[in-house]
Amino acid sequence: MQKVYAALMVSFDEDGNIDEKGTREIIRHDIDVEGVDGLYVGGSTGENFMLGLEENKKIFEIAWDEVDQQVDLIAQVGGPNLKEAKELAKFVTELGYKTISAVTPFYYNFTFDEIKHYYDEIVKDVDAKLLIYSISALTGVSLSLDNFAKLFSNPKIIGVKYTNADFYLLERLRERFPDKLILSGFDEMLLPALIEGVDGCIGSTYNVNARMVKEEIAAYNNGDIAKAQELEHKKNDIITALLNNGIYPSIKLVLQKMGVHAGYNREPMAKYTDKVIEGADEIYAKYFNK
């Protein structure tokens, strides 16, 4: 069965400090209520690119401790600061994480050789497998099929978190690398990704909607395509509402309504306005208060 990973959210207090208790509550909710198969820690949904090294370490520690090996964990350690990425990779593997992930290095228009060097360096001295985190819409970094082939030639690089609407490339990747792990990163494009043969999915909305998604995957696997399509539509009604109201604040506010202390977003993300709070209340009432 294809695995569902929540891209873990982190709870921050009003001043933007990590709220450890709230973060543990989100983890418990994801595992105990949503029934996720795993957590992707330190991704964009974890607001990681707004945090410092020590804060990222703290979050990896909290997640490792709270999860207590109940579900799979993937630690996203990447960013344009390669020294820090390597330090985080070492830190998480010493904690016990077996799988790490790293975003393609962004901002400086690195050449492919520089990107390849970055990945080889991150995995070089650690006993861990790595998933490339490819999200070209936000990083501006696109990888071709041949680029993937070169990166995958390193045996420690076991797959990709594929956050991309290019289904042709996804199909070519699946065909060429049947043994690599491909996890789909756009929650709103799950069904077409399943059809292309992904091994699972990682996403922000699975913090609040993993149950419906697991039902959809089960319907797809049973060959009940009509049911899978119906669930894809229902899921995307929710995702569309969340996106229209602001995805990060809305997921946190919905969690809050579910009794989980998900806190605030980290600046420069805005504080919740009344309009956003009302919008999230409506989303909760319409889709979640069953």
User: Could you list the residues that contact ligand MN9 (CB under 6 A)?
Assistant: 7, 43-45, 138, 163, 185-188, 202-205, 239, 243, 247
With left for phi above 0 and alpha for psi between -120 and 50, is residue 273 left, alpha or beta?
beta
| Cβ count near 113 (within 10 Å) | 9
Listed in sequence order, the residues at least 6 apart from 168 whose beta carbon sits closer than 8 Å to its beta carbon are: none
| Cβ count near 169 (within 10 Å) | 18
Q: Give the residue with the Cβ less far from ligand MN9, 44 or 245.
A: 44
* Phi/psi of residue 183, nearest 5 degrees: -115, 130
Query: Whole-number minimum distance, CB 160 to ligand MN9, in Å?
Result: 13
Catalytic residue among 5, 118, 133, 284: 133
Query: Whole-number minimum distance, CB 117 to ligand MN9, in Å?
Result: 25
CB contact at 8 A, 130 and 102: yes
Query: Whole-number minimum distance, CB 183 to ligand MN9, in Å?
Result: 10
Residue 288 is given by DSSP the state I
Query: Whole-number minimum distance, CB 39 to ligand MN9, in Å?
Result: 12
Q: Give the residue with the Cβ less far from ligand MN9, 116 or 241.
A: 241
14 alpha-carbon distance from chain centroid: 24
**Angle ∠(204,205,207) on CA atoms, nearest 5:** 80
Q: Give the residue with the Cβ less far from ligand MN9, 96 or 140.
A: 140
Catalytic residue among 3, 161, 180, 252: 161
Concerning whether 161 is annotated as a catalytic residue, the answer is: yes
Q: Give the residue with the Cβ less far from ligand MN9, 54 or 59.
A: 59
Concerning whether 150 is annotated as a catalytic residue, the answer is: no
Cite the active site residues.
133, 161
